[in-house]
A and B are shown apart, each in its own frame.
Chain A
């Protein structure tokens, strides 16, 4: 696919134009990725509501019917359900890692197999998360393997 970048004067609005033969799966995925890259979510921490960028989220987790967004050093509660977050993050680096977590592969430092038949994902902020073996293909897919 040919990529063209045109620099425009400061006053003009920036835009992305996709020229394609048809709206196939590849184009749709690209479109979704572009739309969600600047996506913002609401997260509650204490009594305050924060706007969070999807790319700043390390992982999403549901615990006892509640959902949480984990960033580098803070945790925010969210009203989103796991499937809603998955839909929102589709086409990005997020992947389903277990029954209750969706991890941002872009924030994983490295992974290690565990004797329990699962994988441990070591995050950039030092946290350690579990990845079920059945979801490893999803991780490989987001990494382009």
Chain B
């Protein structure tokens, strides 16, 4: 009986696809990525401790304040991974593995409680001869604070599947 419901659902549903194909990317095209993210104390402590990143400015607010910060500093690798994470659906969810990052710059320390936003621009697209079903797209991605000032930028390239 319940199997009938499943069969019916599968026959009537449209799949709400997420992500973009190679053909969807044009040179200089820009993306404002979804959601934004407030970097909380919980995020920072979990990330810093699970990755064993032992610098007390990330895990000791008293120490960070003594260094002149307004509070505990967000581990810069968490800032990177959050901006990257926010960009995935638009850029690389339909793709191959992520192969590398270049020219990553941290413009300033981010403090726990700040909110960051992500945006990207297509800086290269090409079609490798070895993989006719894929293209390679390179993006410049920027993480912005609440005022729109950059806190991080980097470039990354991915294999991106062509439309089937």
Q: Do A and B bind each other?
A: no
Interface residues of A (CB under 8 A from B): none
